[in-house]
Amino acid sequence: MNQEEKMAEKTAVTEEEKGAAGTEEKELTRFEQAGKVVKNHLYMSAGMGVIPIPLVDMVGFMAVQYDMSKKLAEIYEVDFSKERVRTIVIALLGSVLPLTLTGATASLLKFVPVLGSFAGALSVSTLGTASTYAIGRVLIQHFETGGTLLDFDADKMREFFKSEFETGKQAAKAAK
């Protein structure tokens, strides 16, 4: 076999490895995978805000945030604890408590026919999406630096959470 035939064979194997269409999917980094998880859960959070039943939307947000936290822990190969996530989320949301209470009040607005439902859905959707975004970003940053759920310090992450919450609010409002 001459040099050209060897090169052609090597190229054929490489193309074969890529697949018939020649489109080998690039493997995503953990950071990129985590970003996709947060983005997908933002869509779910936005959908929770339009649930017409008062306070059911709030339960939905908690379920979405719990699921997102679990998936992020899996990506970063961190032991997952439902109780620890609940503690972290409550501690972080406590730093934006007046806004969180506004979300519960907005959810209750859904009792008012038509206009209340619409106003409540917009407010709740914005706050729920912002909190989901901020929780996701905080967990990603913590896991990226080698942290686990057990060594998470909410006090140290509070300012970053507030900043990401504001970013999430602005993004949610802009998307409407």
Model confidence pLDDT, tens digit, residues 113-139:
444 444 444 467 788 899 999 999 999
Alpha-carbon distances, residue 165 vs 35, 97, 151, 154 (angstroms): 16, 12, 22, 14
pTM of the predicted model, to two decimals? 0.72
Q: Phi, psi (5° rounding) for residue 156?
A: -70, -25
List of E strands, the chain? none
Domains of the chain, by residue range, sit at 26-175
Contact 146, 111 (CB under 8 A): no
Chunked mean pLDDT (size 10), the chain, 176 residues: 46 42 72 97 86 76 94 97 92 71 47 42 74 96 97 94 93 71
pLDDT computed for residue 25 by the predictor: 62
pLDDT computed for residue 98 by the predictor: 57
Q: What is the DSSP letter of 110?
A: G
Residue whose pair of structure tokens reads 């806004």 in the numeric block:
99
pLDDT computed for residue 1 by the predictor: 55
pLDDT computed for residue 169 by the predictor: 87
